[in-house]
Amino acid sequence: MNCDCIANGSQDKGQGMNKQELASRVWAAADELRGNMNAGEYKDYVLGFLFYKYLSQYEVDYLKSMALQDDDLPHVTENDKKLVEDVQEAIGYFIAYPHLFSTWMGECKRNEFDIQHAYEGLNAFERLISPNYKRVFGGILETLGNGLPKLGTTAGQQTAAVSSLLAIIDDIPVDGREDYDVLGFVYEYLCQQFASNAGRKSGEFYTPHEVSVMMSEIIAHHLKGRSSIQVYENKTQNWIQFNVACA
């Protein structure tokens, strides 16, 4: 599927995107992608690829800060061992040019993208995480990778589904120009939509933002003046103590 079929109708990336526009784009524009999957599963794909786009862009920005130009990016490969080590040390991971989100988008617009590129890119990301950052990035895209086979019974179906999703993600800004946390907003919005479609058990999955803020303010007022607080973690059935001065 040609990514331009969706991206051509997108907003100029030079402009900011407000929350209403972002919410509408994330949910409504991808109706065809969801198909037989529920909102909870859809959330994993959107957030996974959006975060991968962010990681890709963060690396590109770092490389350009080191004086690399656009024409130099195709030479960003695993063959340059020193570059790999330098990037890993600076940002914690390395993504080679063939696996960058922007490279996938270029392939998509030329009808050259294949689902195998996504599998290879996600596997390479996990493999090229710096040992010092394994606790930060290790397994962070595992759910996305494991979920790709659910997008179709054939490679062609999976390619078409991911191509459509890449076009949607490409239209979501991650350059920091917005005056709000884009990743956080998308996560909360999708959780909210998931809860709305989960019926009477929705409270198990999502607490509205306004309720969360009010609860936090009540708790903060109640704990005002304390040097430490204890929180009971129901799953492990243990008390966790926090030093307020270090919080």
Query: For every one of its 247 residues, what pLDDT tens digit does the chain have, with 9 covering 90 and above?
Result: 445 444 444 444 445 788 888 887 777 555 656 665 665 677 788 889 999 999 999 999 999 999 999 999 999 999 999 999 999 999 999 999 999 999 999 999 999 999 999 999 999 999 999 999 999 999 999 999 999 998 899 999 999 989 988 988 888 888 777 777 888 888 777 777 766 655 544 445 556 667 777 877 888 887 787 777 777 766 666 676 666 554 4
Kindly state which CATH superfamily the domain 4-206 is placed in: N6 adenine-specific DNA methyltransferase, N-terminal domain (1.20.1260.30)
* CA dihedral over 164, 170, 173, 175, signed as positive or negative: positive
Model-level pTM?
A: 0.74
pLDDT in tens, 152-172: 999 999 999 899 889 888 888
**Rounded Cα–Cα distance for residues 120 and 154 (Å):** 17
Positions of CATH 1.20.1260.30 in the chain: 4-206
Query: Tokens representing 3?
Result: 């990514």
Q: Which H or E run includes 233?
A: strand 228-233
The span from the CA of 212 to the CA of 35, in Å, is: 32
Residues sharing a CB contact under 8 Å with residue 227, sequence separation 6 or more, in sequence order: 243, 244, 245
